[in-house]
Structure 1
């Protein structure tokens, strides 16, 4: 069977979750896929756990990340992209559950040649998963344009790493930055969207993310140093790219300046300014805004509290 869709799954010590994830992939109503499982040097028995699945279903393949790809999620995914044979690429995590209609719904949207990606809804769960899926085939959708990169970056239109299917052509000139250990998809997806492609967003939950203590997001929420530095580095890459494309709007600049308040330890604000060719007057404007923004935000919170 030919593979229209290449599923790329990085894995690291998820023997206790991965079999359930692979089972949800096998239950897809769309069957023309390959699943590239890229091991990032794990030390548990993941390979032994999934060996029966590998033997029975040749659409799954298990590969060790080669040394020329940097350790981490981005390096594993870049290796997977280079191996992929499908027309379309999607990234799944090794501890989540996929809706049975996931691939079918997305592939159907690519009948329109203008569609470069299909975004969909994601839900989170904890503990045991409730396998009560919504199998309806009717859902609302809308077009996402390059100009919507602002909504994407400010989380008004979030692009979760595992909630977008892409045409493989989107990765011809774009790869994950392998030094990033958090927000790597935020940076890459914004770069792809800013390049001028358009896609579709469908209002249907097709992916279920497992919330647990050892996830990357969980570590970021606990202010893990490595994850925080990565987010800071991702911001700088995004600012530089948008500035070069003349797409760094005042709204986005203000968003990043406000974000920099949480990264004073890492001098994010000063590094943002260093990426831009600003006049003395423009630099003064943003420095004054940055200085007084905490007071303004405090007043806004106080006003909301008094009126609630």
Structure 2
């Protein structure tokens, strides 16, 4: 059986469409766990009315009395899950009718524990944009790539386009971080690909609905950039325990992102915030300037940052 976990919060407009995309799956041995995270709109009643008419005993509805956040809802769903495999679908996104069938078949063919499909962004009407990221397979070292002496992550997957063996999550105690509201999906997925290979189905089988409020339309704030560093720090802690081989790879990327985040915040004209971060991450920045792996001009800028001079920092933000 596959357990499908669907967090729900204030999504009365689209949730039934998402539920129907699970009901219409060609693979039938599933359960759907819907966790209503104390919605303040009519989501709860819309779903309850639909379920009364549908009478599908494969669907479980959990109604939280207090808003706990999407990570809590997903973690609760994983605790309640009875299936051998777990998948996630957000209450405004959609699956192709063959999503579960294709991913389940792939995981069985490869004797794997983690699989993903391609996904597409979709907007109002029939406006669909396929995610063009290169489909990769393997562990995390295949997804942190070196480009022009810089490390970048290239994750072609989406949390709602994966199928994972539940025992893998349980063995390594992998959860969504409930105190984070950004990069929580990335941390969950990154931990998984530190401990097992991910395989792919090269078909668009998941549709990621886009709104004007979607994270892809937002400009990051200082707080959100710092959440990225927190995500990487937690991933480093995980690799140190479960896969030391990948620790150095993640650490290289982390060092570079510390430098880049400070530079970005500086360029947003936040001198005082930058000075605090320079002091906090001084040791990391000193590692960065001594490693000739990184571009010389980045290391030169970092040296200027480390001087921690307000005048230099004001100049540096224009370069």
How big is the shift at 1:169?
1.4
How big is the shift at 1:189?
1.2
Per the alignment, residue 152 of structure 2 pairs with 154
How big is the shift at 1:242?
4.2
SS of aligned partner of 2:158: coil
CA distance in 1, matches of 2:121, 2:19: 18
Within 5 Å, which residues of 2 pair with 1:149-228? Answer: 149-151=143-145, 154-172=152-170, 173-194=173-194, 196-218=195-217, 221-223=218-220, 227-228=224-225
- With over 3 angstroms needed to count, the CA separation of the structure-2 counterparts of 1:45 and 1:270, relative to structure 1, is same
How big is the shift at 1:34?
0.8
Does the Cα contact within 8 Å between 1:39 and 1:62 map onto a contact in 2? yes
> Do structure 1's residue 81 and structure 2's residue 78 form an aligned pair?
yes
CA distance in 2, matches of 1:51, 1:75: 21
SS of aligned partner of 2:180: coil
SS of aligned partner of 2:108: coil
How big is the shift at 1:89?
0.6
Does the Cα contact within 8 Å between 1:96 and 1:209 map onto a contact in 2? yes
Unmatched 5+ stretches in structure 2: 129-133, 146-150, 267-272, 292-298, 306-312
**Per-residue Cα deviation, 1:235-290 (whole angstroms, up to 9, x for no partner):** 3323444466252327524542454233454766665666x7x9xx7365267563
SS of aligned partner of 1:39: strand
Does the Cα contact within 8 Å between 2:9 and 2:38 map onto a contact in 1? yes
Per the alignment, residue 256 of structure 1 pairs with 257
Does the Cα contact within 8 Å between 1:232 and 1:268 map onto a contact in 2? no
Within 5 Å, which residues of 2 pair with 1:49-128? Answer: 49-55=46-52, 56=54, 57-65=56-64, 71-112=68-109, 114-128=111-125
How big is the shift at 1:112?
4.0
Per the alignment, residue 290 of structure 2 pairs with 285
- With over 3 angstroms needed to count, the CA separation of the structure-2 counterparts of 1:226 and 1:217, relative to structure 1, is farther
Superposition TM-score, scaled by structure 1 size: 0.77
How big is the shift at 1:187?
1.0
CA RMSD in angstroms comes to 3.5
- With over 3 angstroms needed to count, the CA separation of the structure-2 counterparts of 1:49 and 1:241, relative to structure 1, is same
- With over 3 angstroms needed to count, the CA separation of the structure-2 counterparts of 1:214 and 1:141, relative to structure 1, is closer
Does the Cα contact within 8 Å between 1:174 and 1:188 map onto a contact in 2? yes
Does the Cα contact within 8 Å between 1:149 and 1:193 map onto a contact in 2? no
- With over 3 angstroms needed to count, the CA separation of the structure-2 counterparts of 1:182 and 1:27, relative to structure 1, is same
Does the Cα contact within 8 Å between 1:236 and 1:272 map onto a contact in 2? no
CA distance in 2, matches of 1:59, 1:30: 13
**Per-residue Cα deviation, 1:181-210 (whole angstroms, up to 9, x for no partner):** 01101112111211x211211211110111
SS of aligned partner of 1:9: strand
Per the alignment, residue 303 of structure 1 pairs with none
- With over 3 angstroms needed to count, the CA separation of the structure-2 counterparts of 1:248 and 1:43, relative to structure 1, is same
- With over 3 angstroms needed to count, the CA separation of the structure-2 counterparts of 1:171 and 1:209, relative to structure 1, is same
